[in-house]
Amino acid sequence: MLNQNRWLLNSWALAAAFSTYFFMYMFRKPFTAAAFENEGGEGWDSKAVLVAAQVIGYFCSKLIGIRVISQMTANKRAIVLLSLIAIAQVALLIFAVLPRPWHVAAIFLNGLPLGMVFGLVLGFLEGRRLTEALVAGLCASFILAGGVAKSIGQWTLNYLVAEMGCTLQQAEQWMPFGAGCLFVVPIAISTWMLSQIPPPDEQDTKSRSERVAMTGEDRRLMLQQYGLGLAAVAVFYLLVTILRSLRDDFAPQILSGMGATVKAVDYSWIDTQVAAFVLLVNGMTSWISGNRAALLFSLIVSLSGFGLIAGALLSSHQITPLWFMVLIGAGLYLPYVAVHTTVFERLIALTRNRGNMGYLMYVVDSLGYLAYVVILLLPKSALLGEQTADNAFYHDFREYCWIGLSLSSVACIVAIGYFARLRSNSN
């Protein structure tokens, strides 16, 4: 039935991908709503240690995924995805029962399987005429889910303290597992929906090229042939990943540093505005039929995102803290989502190389998360100096944004110049 109705197929695929990745975030991000105070050693921020542990697991997952995701066949994706979610939820149970500070190992184990979920979901969507629109919807899920997950985490934390009589420390340890329990059934249903999506049809393949599992030689040739352009994309994607992760994981500290009093629902509101804007802009690329034109348009969109960040920083004293976070988020997610939806999709379609988006995404993702881990593991004194923590984090975040957008703009311009000259092997 899905094969016979194009509108139904695309709606089903969009709903399945969005909901699956959205629900995955409920196993990953709710713990960031907690403060985890007085846990770290001298010179270290305790929450940063926990975030870093999860990101290290995520980073290791991305490294593993370079090979695993690029070689994954379609018939195994759904069962592997559900197995990864189960491992992550068990890790949250271990997180709840292990004494501190040993629970850090459990949060690492939680991140380890989740890093491969995106590549598995992406495999159901790539190589189609509406891939950009579908993947934009997928990316909207993680933009929205970050704020919703923090809201769910805050609500669960409040419930455990007020209704269950837990101490704050007990509530912080059990909150991530409790939040995950709410989404076990929903993610099972959405994964089943993904498994029902038929492969790309003949017209999809003609327009975008066939997507196949890659060998080691395929991976080596792709990096060798397009090294400079891919390196330029990797540089600005790496910097955007750092800034985007700092904004998402430490939103309470940034907003507090700006003097804002934030309610749980505010995180969801912020990311809803960001998702609507980014989804609209990046989704439009699917209507550009020429692969080179779409590729270059996506890079120009990325460059405009860096301009939006600069505007937000310059006008931060004239706008509210919530709108500051909206503008920074939109500026960061424009290039972040453009790489996910269009840059690699249209590069493969343009060159007709043997390959898939998952491989290229996991190469740049692993680099981005490695850099973020390094930032998180710096001692608190190196990041915050002599100021109070929240105020210092806000000012440091501004400095990181200026450095990041400057270097990213240069890298993006290099990528535009490189891909503008790339020879097409498509029709």
Residue 40 has pLDDT above 80, yes or no: no
Query: Among the residues of 196-320, which ranges form H helices?
Result: 202-208, 216-225, 227-249, 251-257, 264-283, 291-314
Per residue in 347-364, pLDDT tens?
998 888 877 888 899 999
Pick the range with the lowest mean pLDDT from 73-82, 193-202, 232-241, 365-374: 365-374
In a domain, 225, yes or no: yes
Residue 55 has pLDDT above 90, yes or no: no
Is 211 in a helix, a strand, or coil? coil
pLDDT of residue 389: 53
pLDDT of residue 43: 42
Domain that holds residue 227: 8-194+213-420
Amino acid residing at 189: I
Residue 303 has pLDDT above 90, yes or no: yes
Task: Give CA–CA dist 395/378, Å, rounded.
Answer: 17
Task: Give CA–CA dist 363/219, Å, rounded.
Answer: 10
Please report the DSSP string for 69-89 in residue order.
HHH--GGGHHHHHHHHHHHHH
Q: Pull the structure tokens for residue 271.
A: 């990311």
Residue 20 has pLDDT above 90, yes or no: yes
Please report the DSSP string for 396-425 in residue order.
HHHHHHHHHHHHHHHHHHHHHHHHHTPPP-
In a domain, 206, yes or no: no
In a domain, 426, yes or no: no
Label residue 232 by pLDDT band (50, 70, 90).
Answer: very high
pLDDT: is 320 or 279 the higher one?
Answer: 320
pLDDT of residue 208: 82
Q: Cβ contacts of residue 370 below 8 Å, gap of 6+?
A: 59
Q: Pull the structure tokens for residue 221.
A: 């040739």
pLDDT of residue 51: 84
Q: Pull the structure tokens for residue 237.
A: 């994607």
In a domain, 20, yes or no: yes
Label residue 279 by pLDDT band (50, 70, 90).
Answer: confident
The CATH number covering residue 278 comes to 1.20.1250.20
pLDDT of residue 42: 45
pLDDT of residue 38: 57
pLDDT of residue 207: 83
- Say if CB 35 and CB 49 are below 8 A apart: no
Region 272-298: what's the mean pLDDT? Answer: 89
**Taking every pair of C-alpha atoms in the chain, what is the biggest distance, in angstroms?**
66
Q: CA torsion angle for 30, 31, 37, 38 (degrees, to 10)?
A: 170
Q: Which residue has the tokens 């330029």?
A: 232
- Predicted structure pTM score: 0.79
Residue 89 has pLDDT above 90, yes or no: yes
Per residue in 124-154, pLDDT tens?
999 888 888 898 888 888 888 887 898 899 9
Mean pLDDT of the chain: 88
Q: Cβ contacts of residue 168 below 8 Å, gap of 6+?
A: 161
pLDDT of residue 204: 84
Per residue in 333-349, pLDDT tens?
999 999 999 999 999 98
In a domain, 295, yes or no: yes
Q: Report the domain count for the chain.
A: 1
Task: Give CA–CA dist 110/88, Å, rounded.
Answer: 4
Amino acid residing at 89: Q
In a domain, 16, yes or no: yes
Phi, psi of 37 (to 5 degrees): -80, 155
Pick the range with the lowest mean pLDDT from 72-81, 109-118, 258-267: 258-267
CA distance to 5, 6, 134, 369, per residue, from 10 (Å): 9, 6, 7, 31
Handedness of CA 48, 51, 57, 59 (dihedral sign): negative
In a domain, 3, yes or no: no
In a domain, 203, yes or no: no
Pick the range with the lowest mean pLDDT from 87-91, 160-164, 187-191: 160-164
pLDDT of residue 426: 47
pLDDT of residue 380: 53
pLDDT of residue 418: 95
Residue 267 has pLDDT above 70, yes or no: yes
Buried b or exposed e, range 330-358, using 16+ CB within 10 angstroms: bbbbbbbbbbbbbbbbbbbbbbebbbbbb
pLDDT > 90: percent of the chain: 52
Task: Give CA–CA dist 66/80, Å, rounded.
Answer: 16
Per residue in 380-414, pLDDT tens?
544 444 444 556 778 889 999 999 999 999 999 99
pLDDT of residue 118: 93
Residue 275 has pLDDT above 80, yes or no: yes
